[in-house]
Amino acid sequence: MTIPTVRTIVALRGIVAGWRQEGLKIAVVPTMGALHDGHLSLVRAALEKADRVIVTIFVNPKQFNNQDDLAAYPRTEHEDAAKLMPLGVHLLYAPNMAEMYPENFATTVSVGGVSEGLCGAFRPGHFAGVATVVTKLFLQTGADIACFGEKDFQQLHVVRRLARDLDIPIEIVACPTVREVDGLALSSRNRRLSAAERRTAPKLAEILLATAERLLPGAPPEHVLTEAKAAILAAGYREVEYLELRSDGDLSPLAAVDRPARLIVAAWLGQTRVIDNVKLAPTGNK
């Protein structure tokens, strides 16, 4: 048995039209493949919320600001399909480049505000690439629900914003970050870490949690964040792109944890960029 797979918009829409006639609720889980347990948790959430689940696999060149990163991105469709099969996913949509971006493709979806700063400051064009492909995937699948991981927290905000601003009738479901037993957030890029880097990697999550504890009583973040950046470097990371305290609800910068907040980080471990975030809920807030 293999998972039903379509590669064209026409074939996808034919199947979705049949489901619609039956009155079924449809969820989509957009991915770039190289699936790990974090993706599978999104799929499980989708299966709980909808009658039919489409997983998409498309390595989207428009969101890579670094061509080496794009070339090195793992492409493992066969293994991915084998992981999805036992979960009961109903359809795999894996379009090729010409189907997604035909000749003379000229449209970009650019989301202001939440795309700026954080990863947006270090990866020019990244969120426009994400927003463009996600908008296309929403329109191609016509899904009622889409599941995204909180690990890519800024991306989650970008996707929510574009769905609202463009009146796309889709519910965005946020799913918690899945971690290795030692705390490292799962990511398709973790497979690039050397054995020594893999031992160092979880220190980022450790420092994030310890920093969150220090910020929770409402301490001004400046000094605490400076110390935390130094701790990340001392742990073996070679560069901290950013470590910031932001509002959980709208990503605006915070000067204290006076509402639900996120501590968000991006740092380089050798040649691998690692991102992570933790939620901080001040007493009385969830």
Near ligand PAF by CB under 6 A: residue from 80, 150, 152, 276: 152
Q: Write down the least CB distance from residue 58 to ligand PAF, Å.
A: 6
Near ligand PAF by CB under 6 A: residue from 15, 28, 134, 280: 134
Residue ranges in 38-97 that form contacts with ligand PAF under rule CB under 6 A: 60, 63
Near ligand PAF by CB under 6 A: residue from 3, 114, 130, 175: 130
Query: CB of 258 within 8 A of CB of 218?
Result: yes
Q: Write down the least CB distance from residue 127 to ligand PAF, Å.
A: 9
Return the range that interacts with ligand PAF (CB under 6 A); candidates 29-37, 44-52, 84-92, 217-225: 29-37
Nearest to 210 by CA among 197, 199, 224: 224
Q: Write down the least CB distance from residue 233 to ligand PAF, Å.
A: 27
Return the range that interacts with ligand PAF (CB under 6 A); candidates 28-36, 90-98, 101-109, 253-261: 28-36
78 has catalytic annotation:
no
Strands of the sheet containing 52-57, edge to edge, are 5-6, 91-93, 52-57, 26-31, 145-149, 171-175
Q: Which residue has the tokens 């997983």?
A: 55
Using CA atoms of 207, 41, 138, 157 in order, give the dihedral in degrees to the nearest 10.
-20
As a whole number of angstroms, the distance between CA 97 and CA 232 comes to 38
Q: What DSSP state is assigned to residue 85? A: G
Using CB under 6 A as the binding rule, whether residue 272 contacts ligand PAF is answered as no
> In the complex with ligand PAF, which residue's Cβ is closer, 57 or 201?
57
User: Which are the contacts of 12, defined by CB distance < 8 A and separation ≥ 6?
Assistant: 6, 54, 91, 93, 140, 141
Query: CB of 110 within 8 A of CB of 124?
Result: no
Nearest to 144 by CA among 105, 124, 173, 121: 173
Near ligand PAF by CB under 6 A: residue from 6, 30, 157, 170: 30
Tell me how far CA of residue 88 lies from CA of 7, 59, 235, in angstroms: 19, 23, 41
Residue ranges in 171-190 that form contacts with ligand PAF under rule CB under 6 A: none
Residues contacting ligand PAF: total by CB under 6 A: 10
Tokens of 174: 């946020």
Near ligand PAF by CB under 6 A: residue from 3, 12, 26, 31: 31
Helix (H, G, I), strand (E, B) or coil at 109: coil
As a whole number of angstroms, the distance between CA 122 and CA 272 comes to 14
Evaluated on CA atoms 62, 68, 69, 74, the torsion sign reads: positive
> In the complex with ligand PAF, which residue's Cβ is closer, 130 or 184?
130
Could you say which of 36, 39, 90, 126 is catalytic? 39
Beta bridge partners of 147: 173
Q: Write down the least CB distance from residue 129 to ligand PAF, Å.
A: 8
Q: Write down the least CB distance from residue 215 to ligand PAF, Å.
A: 27
Q: Write down the least CB distance from residue 200 to ligand PAF, Å.
A: 24
The residues annotated with a catalytic role in the active site are: 39
| Contact residues for ligand PAF, defined by CB under 6 A | 30-32, 60, 63, 130, 133-134, 152, 155
